């Protein structure tokens, strides 16, 4: 069995609420970090966590990835997905203000992750973000991405993201390229990956309920193809 110890997850999370009461010393506590830390403590992967409240926050931390002394890298971006000008963006409430906050666009994600050096994959844990075309937000050399084409409960999407990382980097070894990542994901979507066949269970229906879209790069082409589970209703 492979190990996750060579993997670093760069977790960039925006606040999940703007119901702030700064004068009372209140800051929002909801976070996916404890869930991802559980993966780290169980399997040995590394986590770099940063909260993002502005475009400049994302730019700063994305650029810093390139200079980090890390091996395999996966970027996990989490926050509310909202539609703006026909595009799904990520909402970034600022706890210092009572306004709606800022929006992180697909083009900004692509621009600054494109300066980050080698990244294996990207998870975007935001409602409906998978409705954006991959070329608008995935840098050219990223092997794979995971997103959702509908509204999702974030505890469920976090679980699915964790399982995807386990499938790709622990149970089935590190993917060699985008096509190999696709083969691993598609194969492991059908079972929980347990050793005893009688204990295996299907996660395909779960993926369909979340309207998962797994996008993988075609090596050397700069193009992507997608596995899409659970078509959005029209």
pLDDT digits (tens, 9 = 90+) for 48-101: 999 998 899 999 999 999 888 888 999 999 999 999 989 999 998 765 554 556
pLDDT in tens, 30-59: 899 999 999 998 888 999 999 998 899 999
pLDDT in tens, 102-133: 899 999 999 999 988 899 999 999 999 999 99
Rounded Cα distance, 229 and 207, in Å:
6
Q: Kindly report the CATH number that applies to the domain delimited by 7-228.
A: 3.40.50
Question: What pLDDT shows up at residue 229?
Answer: 81
3-state helix, strand, coil in the chain (%, to 5): 35, 25, 45
**186 pLDDT exceeds 50?**
yes
Bigger pLDDT: 77 or 134? Answer: 77
What integer pLDDT is reported at residue 101 of this predicted model?
A: 62
Distance (Å, whole) CA 121 – CA 168: 10
- Lowest-pLDDT range of 40-49, 70-79, 187-196, 202-211: 187-196
Cα R_g (the chain), whole angstroms: 17
Tell me, what's the pLDDT at 193?
59
The average pLDDT across 9-35 equals 77
Q: What percent of the chain has pLDDT over 70?
A: 82
pLDDT exceeds cutoff 60 at 26: no
The residue ranges of every structural domain in the chain are 7-228
Nearest-CA neighbor of 78 among 27, 17, 123, 137?
123
Predicted pLDDT of residue 234:
33
* pTM of structure: 0.89
Nearest to residue 170, comparing CAs of 147, 197, 194, 146? Answer: 194
Confidence class of residue 215 from pLDDT cuts 50, 70 and 90? very high
Quote the pLDDT of residue 106. 96
């Amino acid at each position: 069995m492979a190990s996750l110890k060579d993997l670093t997850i760069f977790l960039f999370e925006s606040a999940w609420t703007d119901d702030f009461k700064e004068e009372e010393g209140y800051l929002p506590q909801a976070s996916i970090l404890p869930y991802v830390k559980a993966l780290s403590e169980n399997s040995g992967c590394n986590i770099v966590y940063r909260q993002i409240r502005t475009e400049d926050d994302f730019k700063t931390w994305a650029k810093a990835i390139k200079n980090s002394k890390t091996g395999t890298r996966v970027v996990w971006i989490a926050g509310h997905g909202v539609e703006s000008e026909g595009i799904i963006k990520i909402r970034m409430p600022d706890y210092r203000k009572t306004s709606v906050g800022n929006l992180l666009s697909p083009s900004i994600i692509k621009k600054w992750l494109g300066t980050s050096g080698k990244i294996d994959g990207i998870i975007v844990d935001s409602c409906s973000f998978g409705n954006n075309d991959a070329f608008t937000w995935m840098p050219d050399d990223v092997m794979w991405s995971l997103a959702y084409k509908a509204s999702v409960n974030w505890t469920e999407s976090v679980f699915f993201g964790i399982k995807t990382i386990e499938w790709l980097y622990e149970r089935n070894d590190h993917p060699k390229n985008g096509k190999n990542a696709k083969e691993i994901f598609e194969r492991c979507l059908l079972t929980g990956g347990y050793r005893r066949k009688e204990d295996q269970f299907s996660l395909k229906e779960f993926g369909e309920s979340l309207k998962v879209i797994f996008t993988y790069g075609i090596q050397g082409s700069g193009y992507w193809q997608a596995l899409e589970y659970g078509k959005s209703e029209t």
